[in-house]
Amino acid sequence: GLVNTREMFKKAIEGKYAIAAFNFNNMEQMQAIIQATVETKSPVILQVSSGARKYANQTLLRYMAQGAVEYAKELGCAHPQIVLHLDHGDSFELCKSCIDMGFSSVMIDGSHLPYEENIALTKKVVDYAHQFDVTVEGELGVLAGIEDDVKAEHHTYTEPDQVVDFVSRTGVDSLAISIGTSHGANKFTPEQCTRDANGVLVPPPLRFDILQEIEKRIPGFPIVLHGSSSVPQDLVAVINKYGGALKDAIGIPEEQLRKAAESAVCKINIDSDGRLAMTAAVREVLATKPAEFDPRKYLGPARESLKKLYEHKLINVLGSAGKV
């Protein structure tokens, strides 16, 4: 069945790689994730956001994830390592509902709360979750942009001096941190970037100095990076070529994520890149084959493009291929 993150994270830290956490809210995304993880022999975290629950129904998503385990076996993986995780849980009740329904991992995101309230809420979720061997991700620090319907103008980087206290008092199994990533496809403004010799925009580097300080305080403890899409410019170009209007779409360069994956960062969240891959493929089919009206004719290519993207991440960025 589904597994929690405990063993997976332990191995990832020891092996200096990271596990992909891909968001899903429909069948094609789930199929692409499972196909890519089976073909590359990767462990994977299927994650469900609040928006995904509203869009697709929590019960359906939960049983799709259970189906995903059987699907992975059917595709030839004898012992699938698949986690079903709640992304950005914002209340005890929501986390409890997911735990009671069979999710194997949850995030309680109290990062916007005053510190002591974040601790109290996170501990309450941990105490409940651990009775059922469900693992819990907490968060310290605030990402710039939109997170949990809360909009922040600037990053509030994680304070290394708080992590020992937070981790020991809450009992969380992993910690999401803020070191310069953010959600969505516009992670930096062009003004924040410099240009390389070819005129390509280069975003400011992540705060690896803060990550190192955090690792010093809690050696071997699993760290999570949200907002880790790279926003591939070839996908942005296809979208804009076929009628899209994405402006200043900039992500985290892959070499920085590769470097992060070698550290105690053992979960890397990617959603936006998958959205770009699907949208590019659907736009291209609808624009170049205007007589098509069978959804399979555009969702099929979208699924194929997603699968390629995921395989690339697993093999070349996270380094989790061959670990199952």
Residues that bind Zn ion (CB under 5 A): 226
Determine which residue in the list 51, 205, 253, 300 makes contact with ligand G3H, applying CB under 6 A.
Answer: 51
Hey, which residues does 44 pair with through a beta bridge? Answer: 20, 82
- At what angle are helices 115-130 and 160-170 packed, to 10 degrees? 40
Q: Of the candidates 62, 88, 307, 323, which one interacts with ligand G3H according to CB under 6 A?
A: 88
Helix (H, G, I), strand (E, B) or coil at 133: coil
- Give the interface segment with ligand G3H, choosing from 2-10, 48-56, 132-140, 192-200 (CB under 6 A): 48-56
Q: Render 42-97 in DSSP notation, one character per residue.
A: --EEEEE-HHHHHHH-HHHHHHHHHHHHHHHHHTT-SS--EEEEEEEE-SHHHHHH
Residue nearest to ligand G3H (CB): 51
Reduced to 3 states, what is the DSSP secondary structure of residue 176?
Answer: strand
Draw the binding track, 252-281, toward ligand G3H (x: CB under 6 A; -: no contact).
-------------------x----------
What is the amino acid identity at position 2? L
Among Na ion, ligand G3H, Zn ion, none, the one that 85 touches (CB under a kind-dependent 5 to 8 A) is none
Min CB(225)–ligand 13P separation in Å: 8
**Minimum Å distance from CB 39 to ligand 13P?**
22
- Cβ 45 to ligand G3H, closest distance in Å? 13
Query: Which of 77, 135, 125, 145 minimizes the C-alpha distance to 104?
Result: 135
Q: Is residue 313 a contact residue for ligand G3H (CB under 6 A)?
A: no
183 touches ligand G3H by CB under 6 A: yes
19/94 with CB nearer Na ion: 19
Instruction: Return the residue of 68, 142, 266, 278 that touches Na ion, per CB under 5 A.
Output: 266
Q: Are 24 and 53 in contact (CB under 8 A)?
A: no
CB 272 within 8 A of CB 231: yes
Q: Which is nearer to ligand G3H, 13 or 317 (CB)?
A: 317
Contact 104, 4 (CB under 8 A): yes
Contact range with Na ion by CB under 5 A, out of 13-21, 57-65, 114-122, 276-284: 13-21
Q: Is the Cβ of residue 18 or residue 238 nearer to Na ion in the bound state?
A: 18
- Give the residue with the Cβ less far from ligand 13P, 58 or 77: 58
The question of whether 87 is a catalytic residue gets the answer yes
Distance CA 312, CA 202 (A): 21
Q: Name the binder of 228 from ligand G3H, ligand 13P, Zn ion, none, CB < 5-8 A by kind.
A: ligand 13P
Q: What is the DSSP string of 179-190?
A: SS--SSSB-S-G
Tokens of 172: 């969380």
Spatial contact of 136 and 129, defined as CB atoms under 8 Å apart: yes
d(CA 301, CA 235): 14
137 binds ligand G3H (CB under 6 A): no
- The least CB distance from residue 134 to Zn ion, in Å, is 19
Interaction of residue 152 with ligand G3H, rule CB under 6 A: no
Chain residues that interact with Na ion, rule: CB under 5 A: 18, 266
Residues identified as active-site: 87
